[in-house]
Chains A and B, each alone.
Chain A
Amino acid sequence: MKKILLSVLILALGTFLILNLLIGKNEFQNNLPELKEKYAKKEKTAADHTKFTQLQKDFTRPQDVTAACITCHNERHTEVMKTSHWNWERTEYITGKGIKRVGKKNILNNFCIGIAGNETSCNKCHIGYGWDDPNFDFTDPTNVDCLACHDNSNEYMKQNGGAGMPDPSVDLAFVAQRVGKPQRTNCGTCHFLGGGGNNVKHGDLETELFSTTRDIDVHMGVDGSDLNCVDCHTAENHQMKGKVFSLSSMNKDRSECETCHSNLPHENSVLNEHTQKVACQTCHIPLYAKVNPTKMTWDWSTAGKLKDGQPITEFDSLGKESYTSLKGNFTWGKNVEPEYIWFNGTASHYLLGDTMNPDETLQLNQLYGSYEDPAAKIIPVKIHRAKQIYDKEYMYLIQPKTVSNFEGDGGFWREFDWNRASEEGMKRLNLPYSGSYDFVKTEMTWPLNHMVSTKEQSLSCDDCHTRENGRLASLTDFYLPGRDYSPAVDMFGAGVIFFTALGIVTHAIARFMKWKKKKEGGKEDDVKKEEQGNEK
């Protein structure tokens, strides 16, 4: 008997040990002090470029600056010319569509739609000089614009409508002598102002980040770690880490929180467990467009209304444009709660010439993932909803020519004629235009990664684990504690508890009545009972 008892005890202890091993070491890795120390050391450029004779020239052409750079940094241009910053396309495997060369060059969005025919304006943000038509020479190294990214003087700027050429006011020699590692302004000039204005596209990238506080962006706040874009978006041979899935399709070369913070950054192991299914951004970016509004919807179908032959502009309560004759109707959002989706790192895109169904909302970029997918996590996104032009016969999206450089070139922003704009735009893409157009609803999904909030502002458990109106209310392909329940089980449970309670109350009342009656009935009754008891 004692042996049995001893073995039971040992068995119990053994079970606990095994359980403990299975639970594993969920180690909290707090490397914040090291990170703070690492990024406290701000690098200084090793070389003083003002002393290089190659740069002490009176440059008249920006291409000559590039040629001068290459004399020392030889072969660097070959690295640049392999990047998507230069090519505006890269090779992607797109699920269901195969291997494609895709990028800004040929992908349509639902903001200004596409670059073809509009190069003079759009390609201001290309890291090259003079890409104003399809004949641009992508093989000429002197076309590479080193200064756009490496100017540290803050004096360099590209010309509006100049197809990437510098503004004539820029002193090229002055800028060329003050180059270094990319700063926030180098990246932000294009990435904060995409889509035609501040914060129009992303919602989490805007001019506030040129100089912000921890309260707005925990990484970039000048009162905090004061990180630069390139501290996270590191580069090797000019290949930058990080990509945006409006253009990318594959799960590679991503810039991730885990690189610095590991996937076990919390003291609380339950929170660490969440990192398997929930991206860091989901809890740590509770709101976007925290300072300046971002564009939420864009209705191109109303564009072109003129007053006395002149284009008009209307404004909303945020002071942002709500209507322009050039672009149609907009709505803007500030302090917006993200929408949430499953994302496994792969995406599909609407490609030029793909046929579509005008009765359905067309997804210009579809981000893949589901609960079942072990690679997928919940991420926060901005979804930009628009109505944009399509060809009613060919059933594909039209890329209109919007920018107009001269009278009669068909640009919508001068002529306000959709037929002419469509004709000219599609001619550039070598796709036929039938002559009849309409507008279709489209959506574009933008993952949110920036303007990370402080931990105090992050989401708390109750934001998702709640019955009604939780943040994850739209993700219904899994059981979420606190939100989900089985109506059948709950109905059964309520029934069992109700009838138990009912039984108790009835029984108690009956007992009480009997007791009261007995008390009033006096001793007679008592005596009877006693007699009965004795008989038994």
Chain B
Amino acid sequence: MKSNKRTEKVYVYRSYERFWHWSQALLMILLMVTGFEIHGSISFFGFEYAVSIHSTAAIILVILTVFTIFWHLSTGEWRQYIPTRQNIKAQLHYYVFGIFEDAPHPFRKTKLSKLNPLQKLVYASLKVIIIPLMIVTGLAYLYYRYPHYNKIAHLNIAGLEVIALLHTFGAFLLVAFFLAHLYLMTTGETVTSNLKAMITGYEELEADEKKEVINEIITESPEVISEKETLS
């Protein structure tokens, strides 16, 4: 595979993105373990510690999310997640058949377009549906009784059941995503290339004749592109 294609080292994931990714990963794993302990499925930290770890990790994650939304907006990176109908079939076809035939990836990863169409779809629905669901139900779970304390009776919620069940529902989907994500990580050019990229920021990408020039500019200075967008 490596033999005849021209590849080059591209700075794909910037430092904030990597920081966000890994701290989110750590928080998510903590939330998963403690969450399912609170749910009664497993026993690890003990209920009391599980609750305090879960609550603290959740607050940190919300803060991280606020910063990350800001980062996405300010860098224009949010456009990466705009889902597209194009090539979804091709990507699916690759995972189901092509990957076994050693067919090339139908999607060419570049600095400007890091996500394949399936990723775009899944990440967009995570960001628009599942994560907001988890944050809203999670905050309600944490604070639903406190307004009552301050005599704001109309904010009082009669019970936890609906909140808790929605939160659990979202949690199951996130676990499934987490598993799939871990596995699909190994489906890059080599088994570890995606992982390396998310750690170092750099990835060996197939050189694109047309975009080569732009890539070089970005590799030299990551800020250029966002400035260009800001100007436009």
Chain A residues close to B by CB (< 8 Å): 1-2, 4-5, 8-9, 12, 16, 19, 22-24, 26, 270, 273, 276, 371-372, 460-462, 465-467, 478-479, 481-486, 489-490, 492-494, 496-497, 500-501, 503-504, 507-508, 510-511, 514, 518, 529-530, 533-534, 536
* Residue B173 lies at the interface, judged by CB distance under 8 Å to chain A: yes
Determine if B179 and A485 form an interchain contact, defined as CB atoms under 8 angstroms apart: no
In angstroms, Cα B175 to Cα A36, docked, is 51
List, in ascending order, chain A residues with CB within 8 A of B159's CB: 371, 478-479
Determine if B100 and A489 form an interchain contact, defined as CB atoms under 8 angstroms apart: no
Shortest A258–chain B CB gap in Å is 14
Determine if A500 and B176 form an interchain contact, defined as CB atoms under 8 angstroms apart: yes
In angstroms, Cα B74 to Cα A478, docked, is 45
Q: A22-B150, A482-B40 are in contact. List 19 more A-B contacts (CB 8 A).
A: A4-B73, A8-B73, A9-B70, A12-B69, A16-B66, A19-B139, A22-B147, A273-B145, A276-B149, A372-B158, A461-B46, A465-B38, A479-B161, A482-B47, A485-B168, A496-B173, A497-B172, A497-B179, A511-B99
Residues of B within 8 Å of A, CB-based: how many? 48
Determine if A482 and B183 form an interchain contact, defined as CB atoms under 8 angstroms apart: no
In angstroms, Cα B176 to Cα A493, docked, is 9
Residues from 164 to 206 in B contacting A, C-beta threshold 8 Å? 164-165, 168-169, 171-173, 175-176, 179-180, 183
List, in ascending order, chain B residues with CB within 8 A of A2's CB: 230
Shortest A11–chain B CB gap in Å is 10
Shortest B187–chain A CB gap in Å is 8
* Residue B143 lies at the interface, judged by CB distance under 8 Å to chain A: yes
* Residue B86 lies at the interface, judged by CB distance under 8 Å to chain A: no
* Residue B221 lies at the interface, judged by CB distance under 8 Å to chain A: no
Given A462-B46, A467-B40, A492-B169, CB of A270 within 8 Å of CB of B51: yes
Shortest B223–chain A CB gap in Å is 15
List, in ascending order, chain A residues with CB within 8 A of B46's CB: 461-462
Residues from 45 to 59 in B contacting A, C-beta threshold 8 Å? 46-48, 51-52, 55
In angstroms, Cα B174 to Cα A496, docked, is 10
List, in ascending order, chain A residues with CB within 8 A of B161's CB: 478-479, 484
Which among B100, B173, B230 is the interface contact of A510 at CB below 8 angstroms? B100
B168 to chain A: closest residue by CB? A489
Q: 4 closest Cβ contacts across the A-B interface?
A: A493-B172, A479-B161, A461-B47, A500-B176
Determine if A12 and B70 form an interchain contact, defined as CB atoms under 8 angstroms apart: yes
Determine if B104 and A536 form an interchain contact, defined as CB atoms under 8 angstroms apart: yes
Determine if B172 and A485 form an interchain contact, defined as CB atoms under 8 angstroms apart: no
Determine if B169 and A24 form an interchain contact, defined as CB atoms under 8 angstroms apart: no
Determine if B73 and A482 form an interchain contact, defined as CB atoms under 8 angstroms apart: no
* Residue B146 lies at the interface, judged by CB distance under 8 Å to chain A: yes
In angstroms, Cα B180 to Cα A500, docked, is 7
List, in ascending order, chain A residues with CB within 8 A of B143's CB: 19, 22-23
List, in ascending order, chain A residues with CB within 8 A of B40's CB: 465-467, 481-483, 485
Given A9-B70, A493-B172, A500-B180, CB of A26 within 8 Å of CB of B146: yes
List, in ascending order, chain A residues with CB within 8 A of B14's CB: none
* Residue B39 lies at the interface, judged by CB distance under 8 Å to chain A: yes
* Residue B29 lies at the interface, judged by CB distance under 8 Å to chain A: no
Chosen A-B contacts, 29 in total, with CB atoms closer than 8 Å, are A2-B230, A5-B74, A8-B70, A9-B70, A19-B139, A22-B155, A23-B146, A270-B51, A276-B145, A461-B48, A461-B51, A462-B48, A465-B38, A465-B40, A478-B160, A479-B160, A479-B161, A479-B164, A481-B160, A485-B168, A490-B168, A492-B169, A493-B169, A493-B175, A500-B179, A504-B180, A507-B95, A518-B102, A530-B4
* Residue B211 lies at the interface, judged by CB distance under 8 Å to chain A: no
List, in ascending order, chain B residues with CB within 8 A of A462's CB: 46-48
List, in ascending order, chain B residues with CB within 8 A of A26's CB: 146, 149
Q: Which of A23, A489, A501, A503 has the most CB of B within 10 A?
A: A489
In angstroms, Cα B179 to Cα A500, docked, is 7
* Residue B148 lies at the interface, judged by CB distance under 8 Å to chain A: yes
Shortest B42–chain A CB gap in Å is 11
List, in ascending order, chain A residues with CB within 8 A of B175's CB: 493, 496-497
Determine if B165 and A504 form an interchain contact, defined as CB atoms under 8 angstroms apart: no
List, in ascending order, chain B residues with CB within 8 A of A511's CB: 99-100
Determine if A5 and B145 form an interchain contact, defined as CB atoms under 8 angstroms apart: no
Determine if A489 and B169 form an interchain contact, defined as CB atoms under 8 angstroms apart: yes
Shortest B84–chain A CB gap in Å is 22
Shortest B156–chain A CB gap in Å is 8
Shortest B220–chain A CB gap in Å is 24
A503 to chain B: closest residue by CB? B180
B96 to chain A: closest residue by CB? A507
Determine if B104 and A533 form an interchain contact, defined as CB atoms under 8 angstroms apart: yes
